Amino acid sequence: MGPKKEASGEAIASSMLRMANLKVPVISIVIGEGSSGGALAIGLGNKVLMLENAIYSILSPEGYASILWKDSSRAKEAAEKMKLTAKDLYEMKIIDKIIKEPEGDKNESFLEVAKSLKKEIKAFVKEFKNMSEEEIVENRYQKFRNMGEFEILNKQEDEKC
């Protein structure tokens, strides 16, 4: 029974619910292409970090273009509009920190990234070390509770909805 075939929706929901309840500090790091519910299902961290060149989005640009414009060939245009880069997401307060990646794609680059990650994880553990279980859960709750800014409107006329 493949997850896509039967119940990925329920699986994502349950995974998020479980994460929301975890009594230990959680750090999620986007290291490549993170998209849709699959990424979010393991993304409910007290802190969410992202590699400089990783992407994190509601859907693949192809899927996005296909839903919004009924044309998956407009993926490039979609990718530009979607704000899926680490820089965009940091500005939108979706992620907490960007992990720098060295220029060029060399073997040594990975070591350098790993070093930075180690440093960040250490700092993360230290930051949450003295928090109680309730404080850790509440910290995570407030983080996601405040996602999505809105404006207050004048009173609606329609009383029913």
Partner 1 sequence: MIVDKIKKREPTAKQIDNKVDIQVSKWVKCDICKEIIYKETVRSNYGICPNCGSYFRMHINKRIESIIDEGTYKRFDLDIETTNPLGLEDYPKKLKGLRERTGIYEAVGCGTGKINGEEVVICVMDSGFLMGSMGIVVGEKITYSIEKAIELKLPIIIFTTSGGARMQEGIVSLMQMAKTTSAISKLNKAGLLYISVLTDPTYGGVTASFASLADIILAEPKAMIGFAGKRVIEQTIGENLPEEFQTSEFLLEHGFIDKIVERKDLKNTISELIKLNK
Where in 66-95 is the site for partner 1 (CB under 8 A)?
Answer: 67-68, 81-84, 89, 92, 94
Minimum distance from residue 69 beta carbon to partner 1 (Å) = 10
**Residues in Cβ contact with 10 at an 8 Å cutoff, skipping those fewer than 6 apart:** none
Burial of 127 (0-12, 13-18, 19+ CB in 10 A): middle
Residue 159: strand, helix, or coil? coil
Where in 93-122 is the site for partner 1 (CB under 8 A)?
Answer: 94
Q: Which of 27, 42, 59, 121 binds partner 1 (CB under 8 A)?
A: 59
- CA dihedral (81, 87, 92, 96) positive or negative: positive
Nearer to partner 1, 59 or 75 (CB): 59
Tell me if 147 contacts partner 1 by CB under 8 A: yes
Q: Which of 70, 126, 129, 160 binds partner 1 (CB under 8 A)?
A: 160
**Other CB atoms closer than 10 Å to residue 27's CB: what's the count?**
17
Q: Which residues pair with 30 in a beta bridge?
A: 50
Candidates 28, 20, 49, 19; CA nearest to 141 is 20
Tell me if 4 contacts partner 1 by CB under 8 A: yes
Tell me if 126 contacts partner 1 by CB under 8 A: no
Which residues contact partner 1 (rule: CB under 8 A)? 2, 4-10, 12-14, 16-17, 20-21, 36-37, 40-41, 43-44, 56-59, 64, 67-68, 81-84, 89, 92, 94, 140-141, 144-145, 147-156, 158-161
